[in-house]
Structure 1
């Protein structure tokens, strides 16, 4: 019989599924198995579960069809019986007493049938009794009868979502990650690889010395000794890490190791941003500005020398960026110009604009206007010895793993005189003066 074969297939598939689940669980504890093999195993488990679901559905359909067939046979026998009785009556001799008894029985049967039909037509279901757990459920039968007549459900309570929550399936979609909202500063400054904990980078300063006039056979005047400014570094150690249990690895299909590795890179970038903005502001005298555009032009045209001005970038808080974004020049053109070639996307007065969070500046609050102007690769140097990311395991007496990062670096303020810091309060600062042309 087909239904019996399906039940045997169901038992076989269920046993195979349990075996496969045990096998995949063993994969998570084996160092020889890769993540891809675990993923392939999970896919195979899903396929087997779908097959089992399909077999169960087919069994249910066949059982319903079988029950329907039994009902049809019962109905057919009820229809055939009167015909057989009629045929047999034609072949037998007429018995008045028997005929009278049969006539009376048929009349009572017809009368009972009519009464049943009347009760159904009149909503007689509300008079029926449904016995559940030894108690009469008149209210439920009445409510069902009302639903048949009106199509509405009134005052019905039953099994609710909270009662079945234990077996309701749960779907977890592919996790999504938030993108960091601001440009990273690590790629905008100079990075130097070093091999010792301490050291110096000599910088030869420009000279203003001149040649002197020379007479035949006369002595040559010696020029001043070049001035060398050493940039000193002294490496510091920075570490971070995430610990995750073997249970998390075994019970979760998500690749936690890859996720936490990307988080380590995020920790490194956050640290670089903090160290770099500190180097750009530490010991720098803040210049309070009420006319930002004019003061920026003065910094680029006068404070910085032409070569340094040409290489300068403008680092501004988000609130400062908002002021410039709403401002226009005398011709009605926006001061901030989009630039697809710039990593940060905007230029101002021909310089790359780098937008950072208001609170990234030391001791700053949301809404503070802070702007740093400097040739970044000349003003700040990141001396880096090593960067190590790796996986560390315990001795399996506790059962956990740890992903960690190890940095040896020193972010140094190389040229203090090349950094200008403009600041102001949001309501007290204007970008373009009303008299500006």
Structure 2
């Protein structure tokens, strides 16, 4: 019974041997001397290795210098591309807006509202200090009365129009714009409007906003002073969109005025301060383009393209202008191609047309150090939009072959080690377009 059981032998605590205390080893003099000499030998070996590696240090220094110069080149190249960003300041200084004349109390519409039993139900805040008519507009009662009567008097029309374009209060601007949107909506019984604004009223508003009607958008002296577009420009754009969509009933401008208006809307795309309104601008541009009749469009498209080409500078702003005309309908494609073509002609001082332009582009030696690759990028973007936005390549096989040769030059003659500004962009874009053209051939 006193003997250990089987499972007790398996217990590691019981089966582990007892640890005995080890005696400390006494270090002798010989061992201390051996450690001293070993450490001294190690130090000598380190010094000898350092003495044998001067060439490697020189090599490392040269490699560091090359990497530093390469990094500097890349930084300079990036800075040069960043300095070529698009953007033109189109607004210089705002002027004093015209006075906002409130409709008189004798206005028949107001009289009909005052005599109506529903007048007691209108909630007008007396704390805000807004006039009575402004409260009717903001609360939507003015629109309801107009829709019921089917008539907008001149005093109401001019007052709401001026509020929309010149008021400093966001609530009044938005309510006035909503008012005009509602009364211009197509309906079975159209609303009678005693006064409708014309193009001179829209142009006058741009003058008040400080818009620069200049023949050259690249004039640096004209854009030296700081300026911001008025907040009302948003509702100006909305009204242009609405009014262009109802040309069958209300003609806001003539054909020549519509051509100028189209150029103004397109020029808005190069003002970086209006980037937040891009969606509104796209809708407005489509409405303005559709304003022309089929008979007017062909001649007007060419006039618009020539006007824009004379004004826009030959830098990234011209590519921004062309690519902003991004509609997929036939008119948008036609205008995009025409604008790109006219700008491209201007790049060569109008001394070449059609296939002659491509011959000049093909003749450019991309390997020369003096070759301006940035200009080549501009040419490539313009030529792409000129040829691919319409059916020119299908109608003219000669242009198609020259276009392919031009793309091969841009993709093959610029090496991957070419660090000139925009070199990689030209090479990559040309390769992409050439690959896409090859796929189209196989299909």
Q: TM-score, normalised by structure 1?
A: 0.20
Q: Which has the larger radius of gyration?
A: 1
Q: Which has the higher helix share?
A: 2
Q: TM-score, normalised by structure 2?
A: 0.20
